[in-house]
Amino acid sequence: MNEEKKLLYMKHIRKAFPGVLVLDDVDFSVGYGEVHGLMGENGAGKSTLIKILTGIYPSDEGTIEVDGKEVQIQNKYDAASCGISVIYQELSLIPTLTVIENIFLGQELTKGKVFLDRKAMRKRAQELVEKCHFDIDLDAAVENLSVAKQQIVEILKSLLFDAKIIIMDEPTASLNIQESESLFEIIRRLKAQGTSIIYISHRLEEIWNLADRLTVLRDGKVRGVLSKEEIEPAKVVHMMIGKDLQEEDSVVHDPIAGGSVLKIENLSTPELLDKITFEARGGQILGIGGLVGSGRTETLECIYGLRRYTEGKITIDGETVADKAGRVRKQGIGLVPEDRRVQGLVQGLSVADNIALTNYDVMFRTSYITPRKIVETADKCIRQLRIKTPDGMTKCMNLSGGNQQKVVLAKWLERDLKVLLVDEPTVGIDVGSKAEIYGILRSIADQGKVVIVVSSDVEELLKISDRILILVNGKVYDDIPNRGLTADDLLLAASGMSKKEEV
Ligand SMILES: Nc1ncnc2c1ncn2[C@@H]1O[C@H](COP(=O)(O)OP(=O)(O)OP(=O)(O)O)[C@@H](O)[C@H]1O
Ligand SMILES: [Mg+2]
């Protein structure tokens, strides 16, 4: 075959961690000005391949060529000098610094040798923000930003440095539709300027729209490299999971009477929420949609006792819900938070310990804590959610992103909850596991429990919710049974401009 020369070649890459062969003789190449998609199940080895390319891990075997020259990439400086820039799946910002400080961290502009040129930095940052149509306050502390905004900071940071290859590991995982669209626009612009992009995503439609070629990994091996014309959903899914995806029948049920009832009345906070009122019934999955900043996460945080509210009442089966998370949990309410890395897991602890941590009270009725029970419980969760890990004793920080998300969910499956609140349940989760998680949420509801799911993924809301509540600017805008609803209906409602208003 007469193949044109590519910008990047990774050849025969092999990488093993104790107990797992993560990459097995992987060949990967990226052309000049090409958007190259990289897909694979959770734990397939995508992030690891990128970490080898950027000098985070050494490979056990294999070579890397950039622009026709073999290179040694042993750290991020080597990567930078090869023109490789990366936005990691787990954001790596400093929470207490401002946006602008984070963007320039390690690449500060200076006057002379020692003085920071703040004016020049601000000017450059503003240009970038304008060029990309991002809505972000350069002086805000990163810790006060939503995950979506933090993602934007990460993108700005990498755009600043004029890279030949920009790697994006699930960049749209926490962006809303407009933000994603503007990112795609940036990607197209970068491509037109000759920059190459490696784009990792679990969302096939993004890959389909953006990628010139796609490499699919499964269990550490390359299962195929497809050109744009060859990218077909069924084929890609088959390559990824090694079989056809069993399409679940629509799991949406009619509301079942009975079960617990969670009532929210006139919930208001000084910042945002304005007399939020709704009821969630056991046996139902209540979806909450709306734009980022519409008050979805805040509502869940108020229910779970993480956020103070100035007015309003929350009751479960007629009993007032406490205002402290520890007590709320005892009342049978659980929360799977939006930001798993900070709120969901203790990274340095094992999978088993993380699961046990929230569950000591239910796992051990007596005062004896047996390691065996902890391990057995973890094994059960690992099987149930197909968590990819050598065993329960592996630290969470060594799990792939999607598998960490599964551990956060697993923590709550052990408890006999009345109410499960889940914020963005499938961010970073591969297609096969998504279907399984939907099945698990449904089975929890089927036990008469209340399940509330906040999601920015409109298709997801439509697939799993019995009823959908739409929040706009901290108010309940609509509360609709999920019958015959379309993505367009939801998007219109979330923007606060549904047909109802026109009348
Ligand atoms: N430092 C490490 N120590 C031990 N095992 C690791 C380490 N880093 C990754 N692994 C293992 O390597 C495998 C591949 O992980 P990787 O993060 O590359 O997956 P991924 O394809 O990016 O998945 P996801 O879609 O969930 O992000 C996983 O099974 C993970 O547990
Ligand atoms: Mg990953």
CA distance 42 to 218: 9
How many other C-beta atoms are found inside a 10 Å radius of the C-beta of residue 223?
18
Least confident of 144-153, 318-327, 479-488: 144-153
Query: According to the 3-state scheme, what is the secondary structure of 104-153?
Result: HCCCCCEECCCEECHHHHHHHHHHHHHHHCCCCCCCCEHHHCCHHHHHHH
- Is residue 248 pLDDT above 60, yes or no? no
Contact 343, 337 (CB under 8 A): yes
Q: Which of 93-97, 99-103, 132-136 has the lowest mean pLDDT?
A: 132-136
Cβ atoms within 10 Å, residue 75: 12
Residue with the smallest CA separation from ligand 1 atom 1 is 398
Q: Which residue owns the Cα nearest ligand 1 atom 2?
A: 398
Residue nearest to atom 10 of ligand 1 (CA): 398
Q: Which of 311, 307, 259, 323 is nearest to 286 (CA)?
A: 259
- Closest residue to atom 12 of ligand 1, CA basis: 22
**Closest ligand 1 atom, CA of 430?**
25
CA diameter of the chain: 73
Please check the confidence at residue 257 and state whether its pLDDT lies above 90: no
Please state which of the ranges 62-71, 163-172, 250-259, 327-336 shows the lowest mean pLDDT.
250-259
Token match 């961690």: residue?
17
Nearest residue (by CA) to ligand 1, atom 25, is 42
Q: Residue 282 burial by CB count (10 A; 0-12/13-18/19+): exposed, middle or buried?
A: buried
The arithmetic mean of pLDDT across residues 144-166, rounded, is 81
Answer with the residue of higher pLDDT: 385 or 139: 139
Instruction: List CB contacts of 337: < 8 A, sequence separation 6 or more.
Output: 343, 344, 408, 423
CA of 84 to the centre of ligand 1 (A): 21
Residue in 283, 306, 301 with CA at minimum distance from that of residue 418: 283
What are the tens digits of pLDDT across the range 446-502?
888 999 999 988 889 999 999 999 999 999 998 988 888 888 888 888 887 765 444
Distance CA 444, CA 454 (A): 16
Domains of the chain in sequence order: 8-83+163-241 (3.40.50.300), 255-332+417-503 (3.40.50.300), 348-415 (no CATH)
Q: Which of 98-112, 304-318, 356-370 tops mean pLDDT?
A: 304-318
Q: How far is the CA of 503 from the centre of ligand 1 (A)?
A: 53
Query: What is the pLDDT of the chain when averaged over all its residues?
Result: 87
pLDDT, tens digit, 9 for 90 and up, residues 49-61: 999 999 999 999 9
Taking the centre of ligand 1 as the mean of its atom positions, its distance from the CA of residue 364, in whole angstroms, is 32
CA distances from 42 to 10, 46, 48, 63, 349 (A): 21, 9, 12, 25, 20
Distance 401 CA to ligand 2 centre (A): 5
Q: What are the tens digits of pLDDT across the range 379-402?
A: 999 998 889 999 999 999 999 888
pLDDT tens digits for range 333-367: 999 888 766 667 888 999 999 998 877 776 666 66
Q: If you take atom 11 of ligand 1, which residue's CA is the nearest one? A: 399
CA 389 to ligand 1: nearest atom: 31
Q: How far apart are the C-alpha atoms of 390 and 246, rounded to whole Å?
A: 26
- What does the block give as tokens for 265? 């009345």
Q: Work out the burial of residue 364: count CB atoms within 10 Å of its CB; fewer than 13 is exposed, 13-18 middle, 19 or more buried.
A: middle
**pLDDT band (50, 70, 90) for residue 251:** low
Q: What is the amino acid identity at position 16?
A: A
Per-residue pLDDT tens over the stretch 181-218: 878 888 888 898 788 999 999 988 899 999 999 999 99
Task: Among 38, 39, 41, 48, name the best residue to mutate to test ligand 1's pocket (greatest count of ligand atoms within 8 A of Cβ).
Answer: 48
380: Cβ–Cβ under 8 A, 6 or more apart, which residues? none
pLDDT at 502: 44
The ligand 1 site (C-beta within 6 Å) comprises: 17, 20, 22, 40, 42-48, 89, 388-389, 398-403, 430
